[in-house]
Chain A
Amino acid sequence: MKLLGPALTILLVGQLAGPVRADEPKPAGPGVAEDYALHCSACHTAKGGGTPGLVPSLRELAPLLALPGGREYLVRVPGVAQAPLSPDRIARLLNWVLAQYSGLAVEPRYSAEEVEILRRSPLRDPVGFRAALVAASGIPSTAH
């Protein structure tokens, strides 16, 4: 039965990055859009807009990605790092989401090797970590 009341709060913070290119090897399993629907859309919504005040939008990731540590942050957020997907599927998903919702062609593209390393250290406090990233950049937080 339903146990936790408001237990769900900002849990998800950001996920992701760029489109699937023709030269990108296709991992085995479902397509990237299906991976997004099953693993991301329940909170970030089908169109990536998130829920204001609760779940971050995936449409405004350019400033965050540009910050030192921003690229790594997008892999270490719990929703990405702990997703029950192989590293190559997560890499493909990140590249696709960044392109699909934020219009970013991230270079270099996320790779399975990079994801495999970064997901070993998931963030315990993604909201605090993100705020610290922004504060350290000296850029007004409204830009993030």
Chain B
Amino acid sequence: MSRLDRWLEDSARGLARRSGRRSFLARVGRFSAGLVGASMIPILPVARASNEPRRLPGEVEGPEGDPGSCEYWRHCAIDGFLCACCGGSATACPPGTSSSPVTWIGTCLNPADDQHYMISYNDCCGKGFCGRCSCNRNEGERPDYHWYRANDINWCGGASSQAYHCSVARVVGLASEQQPER
């Protein structure tokens, strides 16, 4: 017993001489954090999401570009303020606004896969003008007498509030051809 006691005491003293308590705790901390942390990473939703390509609902394959940019491929016929700059996204209305029930649908070419897609340009209604990221592109858009293909119309006319805030560009599906008016 006494021999064991002496060995333990010598070991503890030796350890104390070689290292401070803080460094010991730091090593233990690092070790346990490594064990626990490594096992935690896969179940954290943020960490999981960071390993996957960033993709919003309704997105299509290929480089996304910048949905907050007027040059973004899906904005080929949009006219208004981009909801991505107004607290929403390229596909979702900002809080406090709602999507117009009626809209118009055109086609845009996605340069990433060289395919045409049907794009629904819904206005978000219920607040005054957003005023940011104004974008006016008119590829395939028609004059007002073709109202069902006109982007000059305030489509909030069909919503409960006719106050226009911003516009989104949602992919509805693949188009087998460019819209015929072009």
Binding site for B on A (CB under 8 A): 1-9, 11-12, 29-31, 34, 37-39, 41-43, 45-46, 51, 54-55, 79, 82, 84-85
Contact = CB atoms under 8 A, between A and B. Distances in A.
Contact of B176 (A1, A8, A9, A31): A31
Contacts of A41: 105, 172
B158 A42 contact: no
Query: Does more than half of chain B's interface fall in helix, strand or loop, or is it mixed?
Result: mixed
A11 B105 CA distance: 16
A34 B153 CA distance: 24
A8 B102 contact: yes
15 contacts: A1-B80, A1-B136, A2-B79, A3-B153, A3-B154, A4-B153, A6-B162, A7-B157, A8-B153, A8-B155, A37-B105, A37-B172, A38-B175, A41-B172, A84-B180
A51 B103 CA distance: 12
Query: Does more than half of chain A's interface fall in helix, strand or loop, or is it mixed?
Result: loop
Contacts, number: 93
Contact of A84 (B102, B120, B173, B181): B181
Given A34-B175, A41-B172, A42-B102, 11 more contacts: A2-B123, A2-B154, A6-B162, A8-B157, A11-B148, A37-B105, A38-B107, A38-B175, A42-B104, A46-B172, A55-B101
A60 to B, nearest CB: 18
Interface residues of B, number: 34
Interface string B69-107: 000000000011000000000000000000001111101
A4 B153 CA distance: 5
A51 B98 CA distance: 15
A75 B180 CA distance: 20
Contacts of B146: 82, 84
A46 B147 CA distance: 19
A116 to B, nearest CB: 17
Given A4-B157, A5-B154, A8-B155, A42 B180 contact: no
